[in-house]
Chains A and B, each alone.
Chain A
Amino acid sequence: MNFSQFIFRRTLMVIPLLVGVVFLTFMLVRVGGLDPVGLLAGPTATAEEFDMIREELGLDQPLWKQFLIYAGNVVQGDLGESWLSNRPVLEDISARSLISLELLFWGIGLGTIIGVPLGLRAAFNPNGRFDQATRIMSLLGFSIPTYWLGLVMLFVFFYLLRWAPPGMGRISLMVSPPDFVTGSYLIDSLLSANWQAAHSALTHLILPVVCLAIVSAAPIIKQTRAIALEVIASDSVRYARACGLKTKTVRDIVFRNSATPIITFVGTEITGLVGTMSLIEYVFAWGGLGQYGLNAIVRGDFTAVQGYVLTLALFSVLVFLVVDIIIAIIEPRSELN
């Protein structure tokens, strides 16, 4: 099987999944007891105004009809308009996705860079002092509520120490953001050699990225350790050891054999962190997709919620596809090879 066939087959498998996601989110937001009409109509609305808005939104139609109209639009790439802001959902989501991706990329990147070596190191000397220390660290990372962590970081590093900028978004209010190229303020301002903006964007990134890294590193440490321990206990490694290979060589073998499950795990972590990230965005007023989704859910903006969930589903699919490709490349036993 060649590479394009592989991708094609994977993509085909995604279609029923997405159909399911579209159907489920559509139904869930509608049976969830939220009524955006009340919100839109405002406190002085009369019965006629309620009906008028209901009709405008198409909510007077039977549910199956509403779904068919929505599904038809989605197939054509139209996610509808937000009921609250009247802006096209697709446009809003694509603008915010890049903002969130930047945070996610640095956060999970840092989390992985920290988590994997720590987990491996702990596995090579299980129950040693280092292992105990990392266990406590990952336990802490697991149990700290993300929202609270963000607030505490702001309190300490901004309010008390004044080292970090305030949690007011991605760039200082007094600095005008760079022109749009990639959507990342940091990269865009570097590209346009706008050092002041780059500096501001970088400093604004630090706290939320560290937050996300802490939250993501904890499970990575734990999982890497478990995976590596299993590999260490495997016949092949025991055989290698029995043959008297150097410790470094053995460790290389362990690392090589652990790589596939670790990458798979980091992939699932990424998709899981997208939810966690909405809280970090909320605390730091990041203005990304997570904040958008959270807002939409709280306010019962049905079309926006549907668009948000669909985007997350697509994103997960994409992440797993990338994971599969990476594994296919590095893993000699994969179907592709």
Chain B
Amino acid sequence: MRKNKNKLLVTAAASLAFTALAGAASAETLIVASPQVPEGFDGDALKTHTQNVVVQTYENLVVYGKKVVDGRTVNDPATVEPHLAESWKVSADGKTWVFKLREGIKSPYGNELTADDVEWSWAKSFAQKRTGNFIARVSNVVGVKAVSKYEVEFTLSAPSSIFLKALTLYVPGIYDSTEVKKHATSDDPWALKWMQSNTAGFGAYHLETLRPDDQAIYVANKNYFGGKLHFDRVIYKEVPSEASRVTLLKTGQVHLIDRPSIQKVVDLQKDSNVKVDRASGRSIASARMNPKCKPFDDVRVRQAFNYAVDKNALNTAVFAGQADIAKSIVPPIVDGYNPNHYPYDYNPAKAKALLAEAGYPNGISEPIKLLYADAFWHQEPIAIQVADMLKKVGVTVQPTRVTTSEMRAKGSPKEMSMCFFTWEDGPIVLDPVYTMYLISHSKGVSNRAAYNNPRVDELIDMSREELDAGKRLAMMDEAQKLWVLDAPWILTTYPATFEAMNPKLNGWVHYPDEHERWRELKMN
């Protein structure tokens, strides 16, 4: 009797597993397993996993063009194409841009996109003073106003080479302001409270239901202007354990899992039930040296450290050989990348000679702390590898753990007080000027280690206002060269981006924000 009961239970469970499986395979629903359900849906106030989903709802005036490299479709950083806007005009001084919106674009609520929506959305970002405001600031935008129903004018404080590419971002997002205003109150004029669990964009998908810590369900915008969408529903399911996410993908329960770790990538690549797509890195993993601290105030020490690190061995040890060796502050995915100025191929003898020149003929025995946190999984292994390799040239390095928040705080422009630490940074706008302005300008928000070269600053500042692509790239080439010779970071690798998915899922394109666009995905 007991045995029979067991059997019954087992069959029941098996049949259930089977139904779930059959369900997952249906063509219209995309199931994404993620470590977390988004904590917010406002691109101006990024919380965990907000970015993954705002890009599905808030599409912008322009998009990057596409090109095919090695049989794979990628965003082309050199071209920008119309999207919500169908055309634009620039004034002779480069300070006034007028965008003509495509007519007939509608939100899921049925409201048509007008210039007022764009004006309202930018006003929201200006008022919140967060991510959108930052984007406005780096692209010199000081005002946005509607000039007719379908025409919107951007005023810039100075010409900006970054501006047009910045308009490919999800932030400042363009909201259906007619809908959002219905939920605004005098205390909450931008309806931020409502936006904690609702969306109102003109993009492909919008939030239907949200169960915190469980799942978010998105449905297709039935009025979407960009053509038919393959998936009419997307379940964004929280599965906190990575091991569980991988198992779910392997068994076909989910179609896509959020950025797997490199160990899992190696495992998934061997599995025929999974397809792993790869995109060359956008960001740079590095160990940064603060020139305000001893011994990093001497450029020879910084160069010596670069020579002392065996980048290939590090790539194998930390990234399972799957990353690309970094040779410039401007990553390869960005226009104008030039690896040819890079002199630091692995050379411990040269490292020792440089250290001797800098007054350390016997190396540096007093331990230098190398800080790491867990904002990026590779911070710790890189710290350990770097310490090990520096030991071979007589330098004692102590990898030391700190919290991510502490690292962010100490690396903020106000402080920049860490002397030696591992980190990853990369541009979200595929532009060399944006990249360098962010991470190598003395006032860059992602500088974090007090790098300051007045000539580099000058080149960046000039390029920011230079609209001629050729001149701009030439200046950025000089800046890249100066930067690499100053050697403020031990450049290690550009970690690649991997997306693991069902083998039948197609259309994945890598974006600089590292998130897929559901509208581009198809099952076949």
**Chain A residues with a Cβ under 8 A of chain B:** 33-50, 52, 84-87, 92, 96, 151, 154-155, 157-159, 162-169, 172-174, 199-200, 203, 206, 282-285, 287, 291-292, 294-295, 299-300
Given contacts A46-B414, A164-B13, A200-B16, 16 further A-B contacts (CB under 8 A): A47-B414, A52-B129, A86-B40, A159-B247, A162-B17, A163-B10, A165-B17, A166-B20, A168-B239, A172-B19, A172-B20, A174-B20, A174-B23, A203-B13, A287-B238, A299-B48
Instruction: State which of A49, A159, A206 has its C-beta within 8 Å of the C-beta of B251.
Output: A159
**Given A173-B237, A203-B13, A47 contacting B244 (CB threshold 8 A):** no
Tell me the B495-520 residues at the A interface (CB within 8 Å): none
Do the beta carbons of A43 and B10 come within 8 Å of each other? no
Q: Which chain B residues border A33 with CB–CB below 8 Å?
A: 402-403, 405-406
Q: Which chain B residues border A36 with CB–CB below 8 Å?
A: 405
**Chain B residues with a Cβ under 8 A of chain A:** 9-10, 12-14, 16-20, 23-24, 31, 33, 36, 39-40, 45-48, 129-131, 134, 193, 196, 211-215, 235, 237-241, 243-244, 247-248, 250-251, 253-254, 402-409, 412-414, 425, 438, 445-446
Instruction: State which of A45, A169, A173, A294 has its C-beta within 8 Å of the C-beta of B31.
Output: A173
Do the beta carbons of A163 and B213 come within 8 Å of each other? no
Closest Cβ of chain B to A54, distance in Å, is: 10
Do the beta carbons of A206 and B39 come within 8 Å of each other? no
**Given A42-B131, A47-B413, A292 contacting B17 (CB threshold 8 A):** no
**Given A38-B404, A38-B408, A285-B240, A158 contacting B17 (CB threshold 8 A):** yes
Do the beta carbons of B237 and A50 come within 8 Å of each other? no
Do the beta carbons of A85 and B47 come within 8 Å of each other? yes
Q: How far is the CA of A151 from the CA of B130 in the complex (A)?
A: 40
Do the beta carbons of B404 and A287 come within 8 Å of each other? no
Q: Which chain B residues border A284 with CB–CB below 8 Å?
A: 244
Do the beta carbons of A151 and B237 come within 8 Å of each other? no
21 interchain pairs (CB within 8 A)? A33-B403, A37-B405, A38-B412, A39-B405, A44-B446, A45-B412, A46-B413, A47-B413, A48-B129, A162-B18, A163-B10, A165-B17, A169-B237, A169-B238, A172-B16, A173-B20, A173-B24, A173-B237, A174-B23, A282-B241, A300-B403
Q: Which chain B residues border A283 with CB–CB below 8 Å?
A: 241, 243-244
**Given A49-B130, A52-B129, A295-B36, A166 contacting B213 (CB threshold 8 A):** no
**Given A158-B17, A168-B253, A299-B48, A85 contacting B39 (CB threshold 8 A):** yes
Closest Cβ of chain A to B225, distance in Å, is: 30
Q: How far is the CA of A37 from the CA of B211 in the complex (A)?
A: 25
Closest Cβ of chain A to B404, distance in Å, is: 7
**Given A33-B403, A203-B12, A84 contacting B19 (CB threshold 8 A):** no
Q: Which 7 A-B pairs have the closest CB atoms?
A: A35-B405, A38-B408, A47-B414, A174-B23, A38-B405, A85-B39, A287-B214
Q: Which chain A residues border B130 with CB–CB below 8 Å?
A: 42, 45, 49
Q: How far is the CA of A235 from the CA of B407 in the complex (A)?
A: 65
Closest Cβ of chain B to A116, distance in Å, is: 20
Do the beta carbons of B20 and A47 come within 8 Å of each other? no
Please name the residue on chain B nearest to A52 by beta carbon: B129
Q: Which chain A residues border B10 with CB–CB below 8 Å?
A: 163
Do the beta carbons of A49 and B129 come within 8 Å of each other? yes
Question: Which of A41, A42, A52, A163: most chain B Cβ within 10 A?
Answer: A42
Q: How far is the CA of A121 from the CA of B466 in the complex (A)?
A: 85
Do the beta carbons of A167 and B244 come within 8 Å of each other? yes
Instruction: State which of B19, B47, B247, B406 has its C-beta within 8 Å of the C-beta of A155.
Output: B247
Do the beta carbons of B239 and A167 come within 8 Å of each other? yes
Q: Which chain A residues border B407 with CB–CB below 8 Å?
A: 38
Q: How far is the CA of A167 from the CA of B254 in the complex (A)?
A: 12
Q: How far is the CA of A40 from the CA of B131 in the complex (A)?
A: 11
Q: Which chain B residues border A42 with CB–CB below 8 Å?
A: 46, 130-131
Closest Cβ of chain B to A110, distance in Å, is: 14
Q: How far is the CA of A85 from the CA of B17 in the complex (A)?
A: 33
Q: How far is the CA of A52 from the CA of B128 in the complex (A)?
A: 11
Q: Which chain B residues border A34 with CB–CB below 8 Å?
A: 403, 405
Q: How far is the CA of A96 from the CA of B248 in the complex (A)?
A: 24
Do the beta carbons of A162 and B14 come within 8 Å of each other? yes
Do the beta carbons of A166 and B214 come within 8 Å of each other? no
Q: Which chain A residues border B235 with CB–CB below 8 Å?
A: 173
Q: How far is the CA of A282 from the CA of B237 in the complex (A)?
A: 13
Do the beta carbons of B244 and A292 come within 8 Å of each other? no
Closest Cβ of chain B to A159, distance in Å, is: 5
Question: Which of A43, A47, A284: most chain B Cβ within 10 A?
Answer: A43
Q: Which chain A residues border B412 with CB–CB below 8 Å?
A: 38, 45-47, 50
Do the beta carbons of A35 and B20 come within 8 Å of each other? no
Closest Cβ of chain B to A86, distance in Å, is: 6
Do the beta carbons of A151 and B16 come within 8 Å of each other? no
Q: Which chain B residues border A200 with CB–CB below 8 Å?
A: 16
Do the beta carbons of A166 and B405 come within 8 Å of each other? no
Q: How far is the CA of A47 from the CA of B33 in the complex (A)?
A: 35
Do the beta carbons of B134 and A168 come within 8 Å of each other? no
**Given A40-B47, A96-B213, A172 contacting B23 (CB threshold 8 A):** yes
Q: How far is the CA of A25 from the CA of B305 in the complex (A)?
A: 43
Please name the residue on chain A nearest to B21 by beta carbon: A162
Closest Cβ of chain A to B400, distance in Å, is: 13
Closest Cβ of chain A to B188, distance in Å, is: 11
Q: How far is the CA of A48 from the CA of B239 in the complex (A)?
A: 35
Closest Cβ of chain B to A91, distance in Å, is: 10
Do the beta carbons of A282 and B404 come within 8 Å of each other? no
Do the beta carbons of B251 and A163 come within 8 Å of each other? no
Do the beta carbons of A35 and B413 come within 8 Å of each other? no
Please name the residue on chain A nearest to B238 by beta carbon: A285
Do the beta carbons of A43 and B39 come within 8 Å of each other? no
Q: How far is the CA of A155 from the CA of B19 in the complex (A)?
A: 19
Q: How far is the CA of A35 from the CA of B445 in the complex (A)?
A: 18
Instruction: State which of A35, A162, A172, A291 has its C-beta within 8 Å of the C-beta of B240.
Output: A291
Do the beta carbons of B247 and A158 come within 8 Å of each other? yes
Q: Which chain B residues border A199 with CB–CB below 8 Å?
A: 12, 16
Do the beta carbons of A165 and B243 come within 8 Å of each other? no
Do the beta carbons of B405 and A85 come within 8 Å of each other? no
Q: Which chain A residues border B17 with CB–CB below 8 Å?
A: 158, 162-166
Do the beta carbons of B403 and A50 come within 8 Å of each other? no
Q: How far is the CA of A287 from the CA of B37 in the complex (A)?
A: 10
Do the beta carbons of A151 and B244 come within 8 Å of each other? yes
Q: How far is the CA of A284 from the CA of B425 in the complex (A)?
A: 33
Q: How far is the CA of A174 from the CA of B217 in the complex (A)?
A: 12
Please name the residue on chain B nearest to A166 by beta carbon: B253
Closest Cβ of chain B to A254, distance in Å, is: 28
Q: Which chain B residues border A43 with CB–CB below 8 Å?
A: 408, 425, 445-446
Do the beta carbons of A84 and B48 come within 8 Å of each other? yes
Please name the residue on chain B nearest to A86 by beta carbon: B196
**Given A35-B406, A174-B20, A295-B36, A165 contacting B13 (CB threshold 8 A):** yes
Instruction: State which of B19, B45, B247 has its C-beta within 8 Å of the C-beta of A154.
Output: B247
Closest Cβ of chain A to B133, distance in Å, is: 9
Instruction: State which of B16, B402, B409 has its C-beta within 8 Å of the C-beta of A37.
Output: B409
Q: Which chain A residues border B40 with CB–CB below 8 Å?
A: 84-86
Do the beta carbons of A44 and B47 come within 8 Å of each other? no
Instruction: State which of A45, A86, A165, A291 has its C-beta within 8 Å of the C-beta of B16.
Output: A165
Q: Which chain A residues border B251 with CB–CB below 8 Å?
A: 158-159, 162, 166
Q: How far is the CA of A66 from the CA of B442 in the complex (A)?
A: 36
Do the beta carbons of A203 and B16 come within 8 Å of each other? yes
Q: Which chain A residues border B33 with CB–CB below 8 Å?
A: 168
